[in-house]
Structure 1
Amino acid sequence: MSGCDDPRHPGLVKTTTTPPRIAPSPIALVSRTQDPHAARAAARGEFVRVSSGVYASRVAWEALKPWERYLARVHAASMRYPDAVFCLDAAAAFRSLPIFGEPEEVHVIAPAHATARASAGVRVHLTAEPRSIEEIDGILVTDVADTVVDLARGRHNAVGLAVANAALRANPQLTSASLRAVNEGRASSRWRRHARWPLERAIPTPESPLESVSLAAVEWLGIPPPELQRRFCGPDHTDRVDFWWHATRTAIDVGATAGCVRSGSPRPLTGRGATSSTPPGSRPRSWPRECIPAIHRTPASCMACVRR
């Protein structure tokens, strides 16, 4: 890896690595330049304006999930500002890192001659801190470490943890220690302490943002930390659970059973190496004999089980 100053953005270091590809726009976008009649189609209700001068099919837009709409808006902003450096949630969206809901603004770092402002859903930031940037598919984004630290400093701790965990999982060369070093090495102390909480707990093991947020909730509720991604191997199939508390024989498949927490009876793997299925409430052969089937459907029931 090597780096050099980007002439479009003095003070920002552009790396010459070959990072992953940009997450593609979930819908087709068209500018007024590409289709002079797009504004008229929007007036008729056939198109929606995604960003100033950028449009998309109303039917396709309304079918998108909130985080997909945000990714489409980020792509629309890149069409308007091809030389912009995207940061914070916008950089996370381009890098396929977790996005919670639909953030209100697309975030970019201003070039040296610009001023901080917000216009048409785009927030322009000024920063005296050095940033490393990468060019991916012709789009400039803050590098993954700076993106994670920016969000750890500027977002809720649960969001910061989910983003950090996902970044570690997607980038084996990245470590929790390197993220903490970026945070501690910045000259500005603003929100540094806030970012320490997620960065000190960041691990690549959780497989989804929901698992990461659940881990944060487990700690905040005073529940002992679980063993993650525990496997139970039997003669005819393998069972795996997201969270496992050995002391109380309690397992959780996060999101797998609408929040159900099972004591001694996890859901067998589905699409992750399973070779057979087990009816809910029954004990697979691979589970210890002392496991007793029980399903806890409320937080209070779960907490009473794992704390006993």
Structure 2
Amino acid sequence: MNKDIASDLRYHRDKRVVEPNVLRGPPDGNAWKHMDKKYPWLDEDALHLRLGVGTDGFNPFGITSSSYSVWPVIVVVYNLPPWRSMKEPFLLMTLLIPGKKSLGRDIDVYLRPLVEELKQLFNPRVVTFDALEGDTFNMRVILLWTIHDLPALASVFGHSTMGYKACHVCLDGTYSQPLRSKIGFLGHRRYFPIHHRWRKSKAFNGKNEKALPLKQLFGKDIFELLQKLDHLPGFKYGKHPGNKKRNASSKDMPGKYFRKMGILFELPYWKDLKLPHNLDVMHIEKNIFESLFGTLLNIDGKSKDALKACKDLEDMNIRADLHLNDTRS
């Protein structure tokens, strides 16, 4: 590494402005600090790298070929200053996976070389030359999290993100109910304080909310759950006769929506991470923002205030002022 890069890799320790309760980048977050406490050697040398891995599939040919996809797998170095870590020259494309269909659960087959290198970079150490100090040091690397959209999360994490138990945080405790054209996830009031006034409101789903918050499962909890699942050891990648849907007797089995144990659990520290998976900015800020403000401002093509939405309110017997009026005489 040259002197400029070596200096920038020390930014989070030597030049970063630290203020209480101010989040400017990953080093200010709890996930970063948690791993520093778990592995004190990370904080001893600023040149130990913290990485993120982002992946998603896209069609490089636009609408001319809908049956083709390319999956880049890009590594982000968070030791660099925020204005550099996300710039193109500093993003490392480690894999480029082409194909005629989405990777699905088989993405682990392609991630194998990357995971093997990450294991090697974690332990044993890799001797690296520091151009700033003019000496060598033992560099170690840790993967803090992955970044993707919701369908890619299902591929990497191994838990279904479709259907009634789609939340990868709540897992089997996801509260959902069928609506006319979609599934509604309406159990968010359980996270309010027990005496919060909105818990007593029936304007959300026609009921008072008495449920308590779910216990959040972290990496260690999920790893222990996956080890107890009987249907995972027989899983094989690709189309295989053993990869069949489970029978009706398994419908109440805890963890039934897991399809595999993700390859990232092979990393010795993966189960210790506080925030192993992140949804990308576009799907949280852009899409939700457009839907929310499109509905509030009644923007044509963006509003969710449609016929079926009004009928859903009638079905749940809530918000009578928004029900459709029958003008037939």
TM-score, with length taken from structure 1:
0.25
Greater share of helix: 2
Higher strand share: 1
TM-score normalised according to structure 2 size: 0.24
Kindly indicate whether structure 1 or structure 2 has the higher relative contact order, using CA contacts under 8 Å at least 6 residues apart.
Answer: 2
